Structure formats: structure tokens, C-alpha cells
Amino acid sequence: MDMKLNDFLMMELEGRGILRDNQNVLLRVFISDPTSHIRDAGVLGEIRATGAYLRMEGTVREEMGLEEVVRRLHDEGVVDFLEQWRDYEGKDTVTPLARRKLNRVLTQLLREEHREAEERAVREEHVGFTLTTTIRDVLFRGRVRVKDMKAE
């Protein structure tokens, strides 16, 4: 999430709590340490009570967790991520949420690759059929035409 704190406050709280010092603070930074950016407990409580903040907080924390998993897997040598994830033996060391998301993405990728391979095979078969049919038509029509010309 790259939303800025002041933009969020403008949209959700009609500008209450906006400070000039926070104009470049990303919401994800605010969520990790809210009291360093909003010192007014009333405003902070109001922010935390909004449904939008709770949804945003969940999304940001989930995203931060996934980034940590990716960083850790990269440190363990899983570089070409999805291709190596399929055979990675340390899957049990990854949080269940991250594991589900990675497995879901891998499954979707494999389905897409399979579908593309099927479409490619159908196209190649169609091209081969068209080429064979065209060659037969040329040969057959040419022979018939020669016979017709000799008969004249």
C-alpha cells in the first residue's frame, strides 16, 4: 500500500488529524507506529475505529508479512520464486497464510501455462490441417484442370 496518511485522513475523517509533518508518511509506516505520527489520543482512537482503517491495517500487515516471507525465502536461496516454490522442502517454515497464497498463485500460473499450451497445440493443428487441405486442393484441382484441358 502506497497511500499516504494525510490522504487517508482526508478521505475517511474529512481532514481531521492532518499534520504538515505527516504529508509524506505512508500509511504502512503509520500503522507500524501510529503514536509517533498522531499524538492526540482522541483523533488516534477515531482513526483506529473506522472500518477503512481496520481493513487497511489488515491489508498492510498481511502485505508486510508476505514481504518478510519472500525476503526470508530469498535468503534461503529460493530466487526464481514460483518455479522453486513447487519443489521447496521448507514450506512448513512459512506461515500458513503465505503458504496458501503462494500455492494459489502457483496453481493459477500452472493452469494458465496448461491452457496456453492447449491453445498453441490447437492452433498448430489447425495450421497443419489448413496447409494439408490447401496442398490437396491445389493438387486435385490442378489434375482435374489438366484433364479438362486435354479433353478440349
Residue 7 located in a structural domain: yes
Using the predicted structure, report yes or no on whether residue 108 has a pLDDT greater than 70. Answer: yes
Joined grid coordinates for residue 22: 505527516
Tell me how far apart the alpha carbons of residues 90 and 87 are, in angstroms, rounded to a whole number: 9
Residue 100 located in a structural domain: no
Residue 59 located in a structural domain: yes
Higher pLDDT pick, 139 / 67? 67
Give the per-residue pLDDT at 80: 62
pTM of the model: 0.39
DSSP secondary structure code for residue 47 in this structure: H
Residue 57 located in a structural domain: yes
Where is 61: in which H helix or E strand? Answer: helix 51-75
Give the per-residue pLDDT at 32: 78
Structural domain of residue 12, as residue ranges? 1-75
Q: Based on the structure, what is the number of domains in the chain?
A: 1
Tell me how many helices (H) and strands (E) the chain has: 6, 0
Joined grid coordinates for residue 5: 496518511
Residue 54 located in a structural domain: yes
Give the per-residue pLDDT at 138: 64
Q: pLDDT digit string (tens) for 36-93?
A: 888 888 888 888 888 887 887 777 777 777 777 777 777 776 656 667 777 778 878 7
Categorize the per-residue pLDDT at 34 as very low, low, confident or very high, splitting at 50, 70 and 90. Answer: confident
Residue 10 located in a structural domain: yes
Q: Give the contacts of 62 (CB within 8 A, at least 6 positions apart).
A: 97
